Structure 1
Amino acid sequence: MAVLRRCSGKRRVAEMPVPDFDGGEARVVRDNIVARARRRPAAVKAAELVLCAAEKPFRQTLAEERAAFQDIRMSPEAFALRHVFFAERDASRSESTGAVALPIGCVGVVGGGTMGAAIAHALLSSGYQVILLERSGDALTTGVGRVAGLRSDDLRRGRIDDAAAARQAAALTASVNLSDAAGADLVIEAVFEDIAVKRELLGHLGAIIAPEAIVATNTSYLDIDEMAEALPIPERFLGLHFFAPAHVMKLLEVVRGTRSDAQTLATALALAKRLGKQVVIARNANGFIGNRVYNAYRRHAEFLIQDGASPQAVDLVMTDFGMAMGPFAVADLSGLDIAWRMRKARATSYDQSVRYVDVLDRLCEASRFARKTGAGYYDYASGHAKADTALEAYLEASRKSAGIRPRLITDDEIRARCIGAMVNEGARLLAEDVARRASDIHVALIHGYGFPRWTGGPVWWAAHLADQDLKRMIAEVANAEGPGFLRGDVNALFAGLRL
């Protein structure tokens, strides 16, 4: 057995002198670290230990750190975070074995809008050659300008140097001729969210690109199987649902169509890995995984304000829980007119038995489109979101038309109904085989929608509730939605977790 010896000239850490220690400055640093960590218990304890380390004997501090580590290691948050760690890795694994990814060197991006430009920038940042395509010279100039702006921002922030910026600029080709996409190994369409527009574009692409090339759509909701019908080789087609801003947000939903083949999926996963994205593989369905669950959450948040809660109360409860933003703050950030246009487009197919809240419609009819017009669910006249007393009139009108008398709603009820809606929708997604496993729902919500990872995700959090609390939560969701409620099997959802 080897014997450890003290090397000549070396000193044990315990014998080293402690540097000068400014307690005041250290406390400022500690407070900043704890604030950035959202005051999670592990961060608070770690900061306290570091602050006290210089004021106590080395071995005493070491023993205290070890004891604290053992406590934290066995805490509910630690188990939740470990669950997320493995869930992220499971989500990135293909269900197909043996498929070899195609080499991708050049990627065409059709559409230079906000999303298309950000996708192009993400590709350029990862070393791809990119062809940006637009329908007109003016639109192309604007799109190229957006990409250049994102590159300049990276340069200004020190994320890249001048040489890298020059390489990215040289790797970008811009064109108004769709035929220039013929040399691309992969083409991603990021045009207007209209299935007729997308099908027409895909039909043109199918006649241009090489048989082995892959085509992907960035749609957030639309039926990719219906889109695939416009292509001569639907096996080479799938969804790549980036989240805005595409060069920042880590989540990438890879949506496998009915006819998408294993090599196409393997190629998409290889692309995502090179882009540094967290993958979640979904089957084709309206909204896929992330948007489908988030829409259930948003819909029940709307039920809450019609029932008597204020948007501020709902947002505060959810941010206190750990969400990055509340649902109404998110809606105002995105712009209410986007959701309004989608609602109007689907009005003819809307199931009349399903509860519908018309508050958003009333706001948009009054040209309250959120930040861009200075008012939405909040007032932005000051440049910051503030509670708006004028909103109450729209809420009262909506309640009156629905025959609802507002009541006091507790924070516990807000939290239960919002998260319960996510859990129930997740159970339905798993049963429909849209999500491959329960943990994929966690990964999508954490990386795409700001759900707090220290909870383990909505399903993990709910799986650790007492049975009576879980039943009450789902009952409140069912009661709020009414006759249109479709119950998911939450027990089957929990069965897929490694608890």
Structure 2
Amino acid sequence: IIGGGTMGAGIATAALLAGFNVVLIEMKEDAAEAARGRIAGNLSGALKRGKITQMKYDAMTNTALEVSINYDSLASVDLVIEAVFEDMGVKKEVFGKLDAVCKPGAILASNTSYLDVDEIAASTSRPADVIGLHFFSPAHIMKLLEVVVAEKTAPDVVATGFALGKALNKISVRAGVCDGFIGNRILATYRTAADHMVLDGASPFQIDKALVDFGFAMGPFAVGDLAGLDIGWATRKRKAATRHPAERVPTYPDKICEAGNFGQKTGKGYYIYEAGSRGGVPNPEVSELIAAERAERGITPRDFTDAEIVRRYMAAMVNEAAKVVGEGIAKRPLDVDMVLLFGYGFPRYWGGPMKWADLQGLPALLADIESYAKEDAWFWEPAPLLKQLVAEARNFDDLNKQAAK
């Protein structure tokens, strides 16, 4: 494993708990020791809960785990998972080093959450051995694993990715290459729908509450605070150069970040977090920034009902998911449902967004999407697959059954 931050340490923990020997590479000695400490901390949690014995814990931390600052330590490993900073230049540099030291036939995997696995693979002399293994944080607890199959990934490498997922006790879902794969691509879309509703008159706090009432553990703005608002800020900067001219992108979230407020880790984001208290209280500065941006754009805010918030949010999710299935990024609607259930906290009793859409009825959902498209034709362009299913009086579950034959 390359990188011993939260993600790398979580993947190492999962691998150790599954009985694998792990070599973890860090840049410097102090970072390597910090990574060892993170892994030991994760494993001590398993020890306290009775998941492992003291003897197992000692064997994992002293024998099964090797922490090194030298890539040559990877000469005999069968599979490498890179979990470094989400930057293409950094990842290509790492894969160049791996290509030089790893034995022929070793699998080189990237834990990227958005970046192009084909481009990463092209930076090596063995693209057939390169695959994406997108874990979700904390990786030793979260169940989902997106197995991202690049254009040149060999079938035995794909099979090994799924075998590893099974050994780690993950729900493994095959994904194709695009920006964000299955989960993060759909997330970016429904999160944008929430941002649009804020510009048009809803408050982030009303949206969060409506979605918690629908069944999510947290709303999108509270989740942003938890993950760190600087992540979305970095993504917006990365995408700015290639942004479609019709795209509506609010600027107030950047202003929150420019003030040094990144959410829970800084004590303030959309919400204000007092030491020792669970959850936060709405940050009044956010409402002021939103009001200023509406005035600047000449938007007269309107009221949204909670039901309308849920309908738009879910319609955006399902429409993008239908595009993901239609393009073959996900093989079937069921795969999307698994990703959202096990990686994104989708309410279990709805069965996933595609199941929810079938329960609501696809014709009514498509009619709503077409009505939203009258205000924003670019964002709300109906998915061709959704239109086809409605025209043929079929639903997403019909596609699952078709795929199972």
Shorter-chain TM-score: what band? over 0.9
Quote the Cα distance in structure 2 between the aligned partners of 1:391 and 1:283. 37
Q: Which amino acid aligns with 2:31?
A: A
Q: Counterparts in 2 of 1:157-176, with a 5 A limit?
A: 157-169=49-61, 170-176=63-69
Assess if the C-alpha contact under 8 Å between 2:210 and 2:309 holds in 1.
Answer: yes
Shift of residue 359, structure 1, vs aligned partner = 2.4
- Alignment match, 1:145: 37
Assess if the C-alpha contact under 8 Å between 1:118 and 1:245 holds in 2.
Answer: yes
Shift of residue 117, structure 1, vs aligned partner = 0.6
- Alignment match, 1:264: 157
- Alignment match, 1:351: 244
Shift of residue 482, structure 1, vs aligned partner = 4.1
**Does 2:207 align with 1:314?**
yes
Assess if the C-alpha contact under 8 Å between 1:355 and 1:482 holds in 2.
Answer: no
Assess if the C-alpha contact under 8 Å between 2:316 and 2:380 holds in 1.
Answer: no
Structure 2 residue matching 1:239: 3-state secondary structure: strand
Quote the Cα distance in structure 1 between the aligned partners of 2:362 and 2:51. 49
Quote the Cα distance in structure 2 between the aligned partners of 1:360 and 1:434. 30
- Alignment match, 1:496: 399
Q: 1:396 aligns with which of 281, 291, 297?
A: 291
- Alignment match, 1:440: 335
Shift of residue 484, structure 1, vs aligned partner = 4.4
Give percent identity, aligned residues only.
43
Shift of residue 466, structure 1, vs aligned partner = 4.1
Quote the Cα distance in structure 1 between the aligned partners of 2:374 and 2:52. 53
**Does 2:320 align with 1:425?**
yes
Shift of residue 380, structure 1, vs aligned partner = 1.2
Q: Which amino acid aligns with 2:399?
A: G
Q: Counterparts in 2 of 1:176-195, with a 5 A limit?
A: 176-195=69-88
Q: Counterparts in 2 of 1:170-319, with a 5 A limit?
A: 170-319=63-212
Assess if the C-alpha contact under 8 Å between 1:369 and 1:375 holds in 2.
Answer: yes
Assess if the C-alpha contact under 8 Å between 1:435 and 1:441 holds in 2.
Answer: yes
Quote the Cα distance in structure 2 between the aligned partners of 1:461 and 1:484. 21
More off after superposition, 281-290 vs 450-459? 450-459
Assess if the C-alpha contact under 8 Å between 1:417 and 1:476 holds in 2.
Answer: no
- Alignment match, 1:42: none
Quote the Cα distance in structure 2 between the aligned partners of 1:172 and 1:260. 28
Q: 1:119 aligns with which of 7, 11, 14?
A: 11
Quote the Cα distance in structure 2 between the aligned partners of 1:378 and 1:129. 42
Change (3 A) 1:237 1:309: same
- Alignment match, 1:336: 229
Quote the Cα distance in structure 1 between the aligned partners of 2:90 and 2:13. 24
- Alignment match, 1:412: 307
Change (3 A) 1:444 1:466: closer
Q: What are structure 2's unaligned runs of at least 5 residues? A: 390-394
Number of residues of Structure 1 aligned to a counterpart in Structure 2: 391
Q: Which amino acid aligns with 2:191?
A: R
- Alignment match, 2:392: none
Q: Deviations over 1:181-214 (max 9, x none)?
A: 1110000000110001101110111111111110
Q: What are structure 1's unaligned runs of at least 5 residues? A: 1-108
Assess if the C-alpha contact under 8 Å between 1:303 and 1:480 holds in 2.
Answer: no
Shift of residue 400, structure 1, vs aligned partner = 2.0
Structure 1 residue matching 2:284: 3-state secondary structure: coil
Quote the Cα distance in structure 1 between the aligned partners of 2:263 and 2:317. 25
Shift of residue 387, structure 1, vs aligned partner = 1.8
Quote the Cα distance in structure 2 between the aligned partners of 1:436 and 1:291. 16
Change (3 A) 1:260 1:306: same
RMSD value, Cα? 1.6
Assess if the C-alpha contact under 8 Å between 1:110 and 1:189 holds in 2.
Answer: yes
TM superposition outliers: structure 1 runs of 4+ over 6 Å: none
Q: Which amino acid aligns with 2:95?
A: L
Normalised to the residue count of structure 2, the TM-score between the two structures is: 0.93
Quote the Cα distance in structure 2 between the aligned partners of 1:403 and 1:304. 15
Assess if the C-alpha contact under 8 Å between 1:421 and 1:477 holds in 2.
Answer: no
Shift of residue 467, structure 1, vs aligned partner = 5.5
Q: Counterparts in 2 of 1:10-49, with a 5 A limit?
A: none
Q: Which amino acid aligns with 1:465?
A: Q
Structure 2 residue matching 1:232: 3-state secondary structure: coil
Quote the Cα distance in structure 2 between the aligned partners of 1:220 and 1:230. 18
Q: Which amino acid aligns with 2:250?
A: V
Normalised to the residue count of structure 1, the TM-score between the two structures is: 0.76
- Alignment match, 2:24: 132
Quote the Cα distance in structure 2 between the aligned partners of 1:213 and 1:223. 20
Structure showing greater radius of gyration is 1
Assess if the C-alpha contact under 8 Å between 1:445 and 1:457 holds in 2.
Answer: yes
Quote the Cα distance in structure 1 between the aligned partners of 2:222 and 2:379. 27
